[in-house]
Amino acid sequence: MMNIREIDIFSGAKRPVVIAGPCSAESEEQVVAVATSLAGSGVALFRAGIWKPRTRPGCFEGVGACGLEWLARVKKEFSLPVATEVATAAHVEQALSAGIDVLWVGARTVTNPFAVQEVAEALRGVDVPVLVKNPVNPDLELWVGALERLYNCGVTRLGAVHRGFSSYGEKFFRNSPQWQLPLELKNRLPQLPLICDPSHIAGKSELVQGLAQQAMDLNFDGLMVEVHHAPSCALSDARQQITPEELSSVLAGLVRRSSLSDAVEFATFRDKIDELDKEIIALISKRMAVSKEIGEVKKNKGVTVFQPFRYKETMERCVALGAGYELSAEVVRGVFEAIHSESIRQQLQIVNKKANDEK
Ligand code: PEP
Ligand code: MN
């Protein structure tokens, strides 16, 4: 059980806690221009990448250690705490000696336990807050593992940043949000502040607002937004950055909801839902009873438990049925994949049990 301590920027009730700044520090002028616009606008922490882990070589890979001085200037001149990304022990040492207030570990680094361990070891005995982005692949254990590695080295002021998950092919968002992963992380570690990075999920500036609202609706604690004074000229992630003015309008447009859920009106609906959940479980169990009977027949006829044709046909039928009830194909598929795999598990038990008995 991790005893996570609060990071200063999260103390006090104000939500969302806003972290903003350019994807990359590009020049001293650019950093100072963005910071000038953000100072005094309610932004709690200024972000800028110095070492940029780009997926392909040849892209802008950051200005390196010289950018740390620009961040130190922002901290001093605007009394704005500053954050940057670290991926190696050398980054950690340089960032700490420049007085960087908060560090974050990026999505590509979190996929690699060796790299995370190196960063964690470099932080042993240093009480600096660290934000951990989700790994690029939707693996909750890897995300939790990175938090644990840091915690085990004495880093107890931790936060998680949800920046979406990469996938292959045509997609609406640059990184699919798969909201169930950050929500499950929050279930496991309720003290951990959850920050949404709508910029990296969106990949396009015009989608930032909607995602920020969705994060608020899901009770996220904060937002990390990429802000550049001239997004189209940005050296990295140009398409997804917004101007300081656009950030103000995104924040002003957010509908904030209370996280309290004890309104009396909920009680009757919740009773109804509890009743329906009971019926769903009873129905699944009825379906399993039929599956078990089929399991007996499969055993007697020497037929394989898994029938690909039938599986495909069931999925297609259920997805089509679900569409008639405005249920997304993704959800119907998820539910029926789970039911089908339980069916298979139970049928395998029948087949194998009988086989053993006959020996
Ligand atoms: C970033 O914050 O600019 C960045 C590189 O993000 P991520 O690690 O989420 O890709
Ligand atoms: Mn970026």
- If we measure between CA atoms, which residue out of 94, 101, 140 comes closest to residue 119? 94
Give the angle subtended at the CA of 180 by the CAs of 103 and 270, to the nearest 5°: 125
Write out pLDDT tens, residues 201-243: 999 999 999 999 999 999 999 999 999 999 999 999 999 999 9
Question: Is the C-beta atom of 163 inside 6 A of ligand 1?
Answer: yes
- For Cα atoms 321, 175, 119, give the angle at the middle one, nearest 5 degrees: 135
Those residues whose C-beta lies under 8 Å from the C-beta of residue 357, and which sit 6 or more positions away, are: none
Average of per-residue pLDDT across 187-205: 97
pLDDT band at 266 (very low <50, low <70, confident <90, very high): confident
Q: Which of 29, 44, 71 minimizes the C-alpha distance to 224?
A: 44
Structure confidence by residue, pLDDT tens digits, 123-134:
999 999 999 999
Q: Is 149 in the pocket of ligand 1 (CB under 6 A)?
A: no
Atom of ligand 1 nearest to the CA of 236: 3
Nearest CA to ligand 1 atom 9: 107
> In the prediction, which pLDDT does 130 show?
98
State yes or no: pLDDT of 92 exceeds 90. yes
Residue 356 reports pLDDT greater than 60? no
Ligand 1 atom with the smallest distance to the CA of 134 is: 9
Mean pLDDT of 151-172: 95
Burial class for 46, CB neighbours closer than 10 Å (0-12, 13-18, 19+): buried
Q: Is the pLDDT of residue 260 over 80?
A: no
pLDDT at residue number 267: 87
Q: Which two tokens stand for residue 220?
A: 């996220």
pLDDT band at 1, cuts 50/70/90? confident
Give the C-alpha distances (Å, rounded to integers) separating 177 from 8, 107, 212, 266, 351: 27, 13, 12, 28, 40
Instruction: Give residue 357's pLDDT band: very low, low, confident or very high (50, 70, 90).
Output: low
Helices of type H across the chain: 28-38, 66-78, 89-97, 107-110, 113-122, 140-152, 180-188, 198-202, 208-217, 244-253, 264-301, 308-323, 329-358
User: Closest Cα partner for 199 from 252, 170, 237?
Assistant: 237
| Alpha carbon nearest to ligand 1 atom 6, residue | 106
**Average pLDDT estimate for 288-292:** 96
Given a cut of 80, whether residue 259 has pLDDT beyond it is no
Phi, psi of 21 (to 5 degrees): 155, 175
Q: Which atom of ligand 1 is nearest to the CA of 52?
A: 5
Contact (Cβ atoms closer than 8 angstroms) between residue 107 and residue 136: yes
Q: What is the per-residue pLDDT for 263?
A: 73
The predicted pLDDT at position 12 comes to: 84
Centroid of ligand 2 to alpha carbon of 55 (angstroms)? 11
Asked whether 196 and 222 are in contact (CB, 8 A), the reply is yes
The pLDDT-based confidence of 358 (bands split at 50, 70, 90) is low
Residues of the chain above pLDDT 90, percent? 87
Q: Where is pLDDT greater, at 306 or 162?
A: 162
Distance (Å, whole) CA 165 – CA 330? 16
On the question of pLDDT at 359 being above 60, the answer is no
What confidence score (pLDDT) does residue 185 get?
98
Task: Work out the average pLDDT over 327-343.
Answer: 95
Q: Cα separations (Å) of 157 from 43, 151, 184, 192?
A: 20, 8, 20, 9
Q: Give the mean model confidence (pLDDT) for residues 136-146.
A: 98
Question: Which residue among 19, 23, 47 is best mutated to probe the pocket of ligand 1, counting the most ligand atoms within 8 A of its Cβ?
Answer: 23
pLDDT band at 347 (very low <50, low <70, confident <90, very high): very high
For the ranges 226-230, 237-241, 258-262, 313-317, which has the lowest average pLDDT?
Answer: 258-262
At residue 354, the pLDDT reads: 58
Q: What is the spatial distance between Cα 125 and Cα 135, in angstroms, rounded to a whole number?
A: 25
96 contact partners, CB below 8 Å, separation of at least 6: 126, 128
Q: Please state the pTM of the whole predicted model.
A: 0.82
CB of 235 within 6 A of ligand 1: the answer is no
Q: Is the pLDDT of residue 116 over 80?
A: yes
Rg (CA), the chain: 25
The mean per-residue pLDDT over the stretch 72-101 comes to 98
Across all residues in the chain, what is the average pLDDT? Answer: 95
